[in-house]
Amino acid sequence: MAETVTSKNLALAKAINESLRRALEADPKVLIMGEDVGKLGGVFRVTDGLQKDFGESRVIDTPLAESGIVGTAIGLALRGYRPVVEIQFDGFVFPAYDQIVTQLAKMHARSLGKVKLPVVVRIPYGGGIGAVEHHSESPEALFAHVSGLKIVSPSNASDAYWMMQQAIQSDDPVIFFEPKRRYWDKGEVNPEAIPGPLHKAQVVREGTDLTLVAYGPMVKLCQEVAAAAAEEGKNLEVLDLRSVSPLDFDAIQASVEKTRRLVVVHEAPVFFGSGAEIAARITERCFYHLEAPVLRVGGYHAPYPPARLEEEYLPGLDRVLDAVDRALAY
């Protein structure tokens, strides 16, 4: 069993796989549902081997119908199950958007608290893998706008493991955005560790001159940016939000009160993105601390481009460094 091993070096995808395995072992009510999650183990192999070990009634290959996947998961949750459903790619979630927004998110309030829907919706998201259309999007803001949902995104293998455990244990529906371009990045996972709270941000690099805020796939980039900036004598702090809803404004505020400058980085379009919300709130909270306006680096108000152009569209080292320079110039 996973618990007997103290620490392992795992790819992020494998860390989620082991976390799902642990949840399936621990609670007979946990189910895995999705397209190709069975024999194939999912198109990213995140559920590899689970159907073989837990059977077709617990690791369920579904018809190709996303609304049906989420809608039946709601029904199973009403019956007392804890379904973890996979949406194969970010751009395929929209047929399920109605069930997620009108039903999954609102049932607890509608029932005055009598009905809980502990459903996890796993969505591999983000670009950078040279995919065709609809396979590289970052729709987290479209869900963060909806009360009743919790939205998280791990940036590393250890968080992926533990945040999945916590998401499955949550009595609220959780949209679990998996940074697909980081699926193969390895990291230490200690299954005996005691994880911190699911919705707390983490300082992954301490600094004094400016705060970089990111989550999911952009955390690694921001660490690279901070390393590059350090060579120029700039001391950047990097904050891994981990959770988009709720969003740990206290942690951002604490960092910004120290550094006085903030740059938010995400792959999703900047317009009405999570960076806009962070900028507005931090401006309110830290108005007298800020030396520069909060800057955002993200996608453009254009469809996610064909793969040959995605490096131009996605925030990269230079674009983030450019924003850092602009913020420091105030």
Partner 1 sequence: MTVESTAARKPRRSAGSKAGTTGTERTTRTTARKAAEPELVQLLTPEGKRVKNAKNAEYAKYVAGVTPEELRGLYRDMVLTRRFDAEATALQRQGELGLWASLLGQEAAQIGSGRALRDDDYVFPTYREHGVAWCRGVDPTNLLGMFRGVNNGGWDPNGNNFHLYTIVIGSQTLHATGYAMGVAKDGADSAVIAYFGDGASSQGDVAESFTFSAVYNAPVVFFCQNNQWAISEPTEKQTRVPLYQRAQGYGFPGVRVDGNDVLACLAVTRWALERARDGEGPTLVEAYTYRMGAHTTSDDPTKYRADEEREAWEAKDPILRLRRHLEASNHTDEGFFAELEAESEALGRRVREAVRAMPDPDRFAIFENVYADGHALVDEERAQFAAYQASFATESDSGFAAGSGGN
| 3-state secondary structure labels for all residues of the chain | CHHHCCCEEEEHHHHHHHHHHHHHHHCCCEEEEECCCCCCCCCCCCCCCHHHHHCCCCEEECCCCHHHHHHHHHHHHHCCCEEEEECCCHHHCHHHHHHHHHHHCCHHHHCCCCCCCCCEEEEEECCCCCCCCCCCCCCHHHHHCCCCCEEECCCCHHHHHHHHHHHHHCCCCEEEEEEHHHCCCEEEECCCCCCCCCCCCEEEECCCCEEEEECCCHHHHHHHHHHHHHHCCCCEEEEECCEEECCCHHHHHHHHHHHCCEEEEEEEECCCCHHHHHHHHHHHHCCCCCCCCCEEEEECCCCCCCHHHHHHHCCCHHHHHHHHHHHHCC
Report if residue 76 touches partner 1, rule: CB under 8 A. yes
Beta carbon of residue 112, minimum distance to partner 1 (angstroms, whole number): 6
Beta carbon of residue 111, minimum distance to partner 1 (angstroms, whole number): 6
Q: Could you say which of 108, 134, 135, 301 is catalytic? A: 135
Strand 236-240 to strand 202-205: parallel, antiparallel, or no bridges (unpaired)? antiparallel
Residues binding partner 1: what is the number (CB under 8 A)?
47
Encoded one letter per residue, x for contact with partner 1 by CB under 8 A and - for no contact, window 36-65 reads: ---------------------x----xx-x
Binding to partner 1, residues 161-200 (CB under 8 A): 170-172, 199
Beta carbon of residue 150, minimum distance to partner 1 (angstroms, whole number): 7
In the bound state with partner 1, the residue whose beta carbon lies nearer, of 87 and 314, is 87
Q: Is 266 labeled as catalytic in the residue annotation?
A: no
Q: Which distant-in-sequence residues (6+ apart) come within 8 Å of 79 by Cβ?
A: none
Cα-based torsion angle of the residue sequence 313, 317, 319, 325 in order, rounded to the nearest 10 degrees: 170
Binding to partner 1, residues 206-245 (CB under 8 A): 245
In the bound state with partner 1, the residue whose beta carbon lies nearer, of 150 and 296, is 150
Binding to partner 1, residues 129-168 (CB under 8 A): 147-148, 150
Report if residue 81 touches partner 1, rule: CB under 8 A. yes
Beta carbon of residue 188, minimum distance to partner 1 (angstroms, whole number): 28
Report if residue 9 touches partner 1, rule: CB under 8 A. no
In the bound state with partner 1, the residue whose beta carbon lies nearer, of 143 and 183, is 143
Encoded one letter per residue, x for contact with partner 1 by CB under 8 A and - for no contact, window 267-306 reads: -----------------x----------------------
Q: Candidates 86-94, 113-121, 134-142, 207-215 — which segment interacts with partner 1 by CB under 8 A?
A: 113-121
Distances (CA, A) of 108 to 73, 74, 307: 15, 12, 40
Beta carbon of residue 199, minimum distance to partner 1 (angstroms, whole number): 7
In the bound state with partner 1, the residue whose beta carbon lies nearer, of 112 and 194, is 112
Q: Candidates 97-105, 176-184, 188-196, 265-273 — which segment interacts with partner 1 by CB under 8 A?
A: 97-105
Binding site residues, partner 1, CB under 8 A: 57, 62-63, 65, 67-68, 70-81, 95, 98-99, 102-103, 106-116, 147-148, 150, 170-172, 199, 245-249, 284
Which residues are tagged catalytic?
135
